[in-house]
Amino acid sequence: MTDYAVINPATGETLASFDTFTDEQIEEAVAAADEAHREWSRSTTVADRAALLRRAAELHRERREELADIFVREMGKPREAALGEVDFAADIAEYYADQAEDIMADQPIKILGDGSAIIRRSSLGPLVGIMPWNFPAYQIVRFAAPNLIVGNTILLKPAPQCPESSSAIEAIYHDAGFPKGAYQNILATNEQIADMIADPRVQGVSLTGSERAGAAVAEVAGRNLKKVALELGGSDPFIVLSTDDLDATVQAGVDARLDNNGQACNGAKRFIIVDELYDAFAEKFTAAMAAVEATDPMLDDTVLGPVSSEAAAENLQKQIDQAVEQGATLLTGGTRKGAFFAPTVLADVTPR
């Protein structure tokens, strides 16, 4: 059985598929993570772990072209953006390696009365990470790097459409010298993940994803008294109250909306413009968006590639059609070809 496949959104072609782990493989992975925490993390120093993480950063840079190509195939990210993400991931790993000693140093605190007190950071154990598809390297490293420095071990579940990149990143951590069980790529079902969170050997879970997925994970974590960190979706506003350079403000708005093919949790999704600037902003913003063409993400000058999948494009089309039916004005776009969606601007959108 497989729920994990690489389907190139630019072509619709299925390029690779990966089998979902069996229950026996999940048990082996959890056992290995637990053993690595008990043995490796407790027998190494912060400096030892920092050296491994620094090597992982180097390998991100050495393999940046390969990783970027995988990201483009998996979710349609423009290749220049994919290269930038790999570099950013390497920077994050390097940062934690460089700052490890300071991060892990004992922190004295003032107390009333006699004696002394410190805050000391130590590992918890195996942690489950449930990561999204929109930033296949960045999302992983910001979870994995600090936890590996502390000495926690990682059980990483990627998004179903990102098995190839997650496998490549697992290879980076192995090739950097992290031992068996310290970092593992887990191709699990939702039910298997729930069982992993409930497992007494697993000490916590981190998820980046939808509110629905976050609620499900939080319920299992809460019921089993596990530490949980959730980063869920948002609808961030781009607010213009005044400007000395309207053209620059418009371009900032375009960049904020189109970054990562418009598929970023912190991307601008609503534009709220003060009345006296609204007409001019709307005219310039609409023209600027209409001038952008969704094109092949492998081209060096591509600004906007396809959305992550044809299913995502179909859902987006339904949302736009519904908005127009309910009274919104379509200023530009609203059309698609496969997973390529024309930049679209809606005005006169009111709460339902």
Q: What letters, b where the CB count within 10 A reaches 16 and e where it falls short, cover 67-106?
A: bbbbbbbbbbbbbebbbebbebbbebbbbbbeebeebbee
Residue tagged active-site, from 265, 310, 314, 325: 265
Cα gap 223→216, rounded to integer Å = 11
42 pLDDT band (50/70/90 cuts)?
confident
- Residue 191 annotated in active site: no
Q: What is the mean pLDDT of residues 128-152?
A: 97
pLDDT at 351 over 90: no
pLDDT at 1 over 60: no
Cα gap 92→83, rounded to integer Å = 15
248 pLDDT band (50/70/90 cuts)?
very high
Of 7-11, 257-261, 273-277, 348-352, which range is least confident?
348-352
Please provide the average confidence, as pLDDT, over all residues in the chain: 95
Specify the higher pLDDT residue, 174 or 236.
Answer: 174
Taking alpha carbons only, the member of 315, 88, 78, 322 closest to residue 210 is 315
233 pLDDT band (50/70/90 cuts)?
confident
**Residue bearing tokens 């906007």:** 304
pLDDT of residue 350: 85
What are φ and ψ of residue 305, in 5° steps? Answer: -100, -160
180 pLDDT band (50/70/90 cuts)?
very high
pLDDT of residue 265: 87
- Residue 164 annotated in active site: no
pLDDT of residue 234: 79
Cα gap 205→190, rounded to integer Å = 13
Domains, the chain, with CATH or none: 4-232 (3.40.605.10), 236-347 (3.40.309.10)
pLDDT of residue 14: 95
**Residue bearing tokens 């195996």:** 126
Residue tagged active-site, from 58, 231, 310, 314: 231
DSSP, collapsed to helix, strand or coil, labels residue 233 as coil
Per-residue pLDDT reduced to its tens digit, 289-341: 999 999 999 998 999 999 999 999 999 999 999 999 999 999 999 999 999 99
Assess contact for 9 and 339: CB atoms under 8 A: yes
If phi over 0 gives left and psi between -120 and 50 gives alpha, with beta otherwise, what is residue 349?
Answer: beta
pTM above 0.85, yes or no: yes
pLDDT of residue 2: 63
Assess contact for 161 and 49: CB atoms under 8 A: no
pLDDT of residue 100: 97
